Structure 1
Amino acid sequence: MTDHYINLSLVIPPAILDEVLQNNFYDNINNFYNLSYEMRLTL
C-alpha cells in the first residue's frame, strides 16, 4: 500500500501533499525506504 502512496505523492498538488505530510505521511515513506534498504542488504 505504501508503494501507491509514494506514486501518488509525485502527482498530488503541493497543498494536498502538505496536508498529508502532517498525517505521518513522511514517516510512512521513511519506513518504506528503510525496509526496502534492509531487504536489499539481506539479498
Structure 2
Amino acid sequence: MAVTDQLKAIPVSEFEHCYEEWKKRLQRCVASEGSYIEGDNIDL
C-alpha cells in the first residue's frame, strides 16, 4: 500500500500537468514518423 499512498499524495493538478506533457511528447513521436528524437528542442 505504500505505493498507493504515494500516488494518492500527488496533487491532481500535478498529475494533470504531467499527463498533458506526456501527450505532447506522444504527439511529437507520431509527427516524427518514427525518427529518433532527443531533447526538447525539436522542430517538426
TM-score calculated relative to the size of structure 2: 0.47
Relative CO higher for 1 or 2, CA cutoff 8 Å, sep ≥ 6?
1
Q: Which entry has the higher C-alpha Rg, 1 or 2?
A: 2
